[in-house]
Structure 1
Amino acid sequence: MTIQQLIEAMNNRAQQVQALAAVEAKGEELTAEQHEQFKTLQVEHAQFGEKLSRARAAEQLVIEEATPVVSKSGPAIHVKSAPEDYKGSKVARFAMSVAAGKGDLNLAKKFAENEIGDKTVAMAISTAEGSGGALVPENYGQEVIEMLRPRTIVRDLGANVAPLVNGNLTIPRHSGGATSGYKGENEARNAEGGSTDDVKLAAKTQMTIVPMSNELIGYAGYAVEQLFLNDMIAAMANRQDKAFLRDDGTNNTPKGLRKTALDGGRVVPFAGDKTDPKAIDAYLDLLILTLMNSDSSMIKCGWGMSPRTFMFLQGIRDGNGHKYYPEMAQGMLKGYKIRHTTNVPVNLGVGSNETEIYFADFNDVIIGETGSLTIDFSREATYNDADGNLVSAYSRNQSVLRVVGGNDVGFRHLEGLVLGSAVNF
């Protein structure tokens, strides 16, 4: 049967099913024969649907793999459908093309156009400029930022993103509030106002190394695109979370929330008994109360912690076996969003068994982004793996993509930040 015949057969069965359903809608009972007819029509409709899906898939393959067609009135035309777009697809194809072209942008452009079939990526590559690499268009860079949001807890908890124009951004903030008072008649009173200072963000270079097997280079397709994309996003997200949470601003790194809290005296250690649920509950309340007592706006508050602490809190039960915090199943703790990351260590303190809890109004967190990424390529480079071991791409038959960008993080009001330390649960 042709595709059109299959569609007509499905429509015919659907009309008969609707007619039988209309009988029941009028309040009449279907006979045993009509019940059997209803079931048969359902089965046949499903069978024709499966055949139609296969027929359409076969037709699409014919279109995609079509050979050049010679036209009497013009040059040969190759019929090939454009690849389907999804979030991050342009970035992945851009990176794949640079890799397939071995760093040669002319070859990369041809790969994007002829093998992947994405003319917009090919055009972007043809206009890419970079120092030793290919400059990813800013709109593609925004795709990366959007994909990083759910993978980094600082972004996911509500941090704001601001552009770093020329690599810098200065944001004025109130460091001390104005005061008010009363006076008697003819009594002088001094004017008292708030004090201000600045939050200064300066782009710190983030470098992401993505080793790829040479067997995959040059193969176009959704699965390979996803490998490229996932490797890039995962590596960038992991390093950003560590930087935004725990880097101390030295060695060209951002000054994260931990260092900000330490410098501002916004640290509350846990001194209770971890086997006592009430002590833990009181400690969590104390962290919240620290923000309240500081007159924090508390617009987008959230929790950040290690997976160990997350699972411990999720497993606490009262004397009746009920969970203390059932809302954690929905990603909430005491009414505020909660996220976990392995970038919060669990081997701190004298006994190497302590960790940290971050509670903050993430509306006060500003992430500065340069908005541009540069992709470089090499087949001879060496790189450090996750364990710090030096690896030769050449000896492993790998290609290495290097994604370079710039970012920084700052906190507008210390009143909206508290670091829970010495946490042993």
Structure 2
Amino acid sequence: MAKQITREKAQELFLSMLKGANVDLAAMVEERLKKALEPLEARLKEQQTTRFNDIMRGHGRGDGEDRKAKSAAVGRMVRLLAMAKGDHEKAIVYATKMFGAEDMAVKALSAGQADAGGFLVAPEFSAEVIELLRPMSVVRRMNPTTLPMDQGALSIPKLTGGATAAYTGEGQNIGSSQQTTGMLDLVWKKLAALVPISNDLLRFSTVSPNADAVVRDDIVSAMALREDLAFIRGDGLTGTPKGLRNWAPAANVLTVNATVNLANITVDLGTLVLALENADVRMIRPGWLMAPRTKHFLMTIRDGNGNFAFREEMLAGNLWGFPFATTTQIPINLAVTGTAESEIYMTDFVDAVIAEASEIVIDASPNAAYFDSASSAVVSSFSRDETVIRAISRHDFGMRHDASVAVLSDVDWV
């Protein structure tokens, strides 16, 4: 049988062996570690140098920063196209001369291509503009389902009636039923945003990132407002998408109680939620849409003890536990039974579908005429020393389950 030794004895024997070999263990380990780490240190130094240089040039960011850079590059790209009067090749020359060949705007111009109707922005840069629509468009902010539609049309199966189940006794036939299905057919609708830009902004802000953001945000804001109007109240005619108001089944369009008090308001809100739940709507991403006037009223109404009824919850962004958003694209001058009425929408946005092309078309003209809503007249950009930017996106909107929308009409809460 082998003789066992203690742990302490083993350590003593090991140390005596090292001393006998006259080996400087620490020095040996240090030398080997140094050699092993040399390639890693060199690579790390190279990466740090590259990152520093990229940051100084405005590139080399993380994912979030890279997305910001791409969206800002779109604004710069639009300005360059405006300076080049819509000429794609000239815009690339200007961009390279002003910002260098590695600038993100040069990459955006190079990745896109000239189109008969303007400049076709590459999908990777168009996506950043579309993403910026999310916080500006209340419908997009509520997180609907978004699908690509690059071929002009998209058909999505929808369930209009479910199969049924039943208990059966011993030896009895099991009854069968069929699901009732349909198709949600979506087709491109063209949204064109016209944004006039002062030529002074083009002349005297050639290297200003703030000017790039102004151009980009003007385009995004114009698109977001018009999208919301279509996605909420569009009639589906004359080339516009069919919005929530017209997807809602008649049974889900409810009328507000004529007497405005807290008890009736609470019942009205609850009736909207109940309309969806009674239709077996899944309530995965439910949310409210309303006009700012309606939000203000709900946040200021008090109960019999003087306490705010909904204010605390709404300050946190919820109403009845569901998120809400406001937009002036929900009118407050509807005349159903009165003259200053509005609407409230309750929707499960998981069933709302936005299908869109992955590319945006940009064009610029210093000689265009456009309709000025402020003066209600057609004006010349040339006479105003402006360049008109036109951005075209293509999309459609629909509901996979019509009953996932409920509307409270005749809302005159003021």
Partner of 1:407: 395
Q: How far apart, in 2, do the equivalents of 1:182 and 1:323 lie? A: 50
Once the two structures are overlaid, the 10-residue window that deviates more, 222-231 or 248-257, is: 222-231
Partner of 2:103: 119
Q: How far apart, in 2, do the equivalents of 1:140 and 1:121 lie? A: 10
* Pairing partner for 2:259 from 252, 264, 273: 273
Q: Spell out, residue by residue over 1:86-119, the C-alpha distance to the aligned partner (whole angstroms, 9 max, x if none).
A: 3511211111110111112222112222223453
Q: How far apart, in 1, do the equivalents of 2:232 and 2:91 lie? A: 37
Q: Quote the offset at 1:201 in angstroms.
A: 1.0
Partner of 1:44: none
Partner of 2:364: 377
* Pairing partner for 1:173 from 158, 163, 168: 158
CA RMSD of the aligned region, Å? 1.9
Q: How far apart, in 1, do the equivalents of 2:380 and 2:132 lie? A: 30
Q: Quote the offset at 1:266 in angstroms.
A: 2.0
* Pairing partner for 2:325 from 323, 328, 339: 339
Q: Quote the offset at 1:319 in angstroms.
A: 2.2
Q: Quote the offset at 1:264 in angstroms.
A: 4.9
* Secondary structure of 2:382 counterpart: coil
Q: How far apart, in 2, do the equivalents of 1:83 and 1:384 lie? A: 38
Q: How far apart, in 1, do the equivalents of 2:104 and 2:170 lie? A: 75
Gaps of 5+ in 2: 1-54, 60-65
Partner of 1:249: 236
Partner of 1:230: 217
Partner of 2:270: 285
Say if 1:354 and 1:422, in contact at 8 Å, map to a contact too. yes
Q: Spell out, residue by residue over 1:170-207, the C-alpha distance to the aligned partner (whole angstroms, 9 max, x if none).
A: 11011001112234455456421211001111110010
Q: 1:143 to 1:339 in 2, by over 3 A?
A: same
Q: How far apart, in 1, do the equivalents of 2:397 and 2:259 lie? A: 35
Partner of 1:101: 84
Q: How far apart, in 2, do the equivalents of 1:152 and 1:97 lie? A: 27
Gaps of 5+ in 1: 1-79
* Secondary structure of 1:129 counterpart: strand
Q: Quote the offset at 1:358 in angstroms.
A: 0.5
Say if 1:287 and 1:418, in contact at 8 Å, map to a contact too. yes
The two structures have a TM-score, normalised by structure 1, of 0.78
Say if 1:264 and 1:414, in contact at 8 Å, map to a contact too. no
Q: Quote the offset at 1:272 in angstroms.
A: 3.7
Q: How far apart, in 1, do the equivalents of 2:360 and 2:150 lie? A: 14
* Secondary structure of 2:296 counterpart: helix
* Secondary structure of 1:166 counterpart: coil
Q: Spell out, residue by residue over 1:102-138, the C-alpha distance to the aligned partner (whole angstroms, 9 max, x if none).
A: 1122221122222234534224324523114111110
Which structure has the bigger radius of gyration? 2
Q: 1:132 to 1:282 in 2, by over 3 A?
A: closer
Say if 1:374 and 1:403, in contact at 8 Å, map to a contact too. yes
1:90 aligns with 2:76: no
Say if 2:231 and 2:397, in contact at 8 Å, map to a contact too. yes
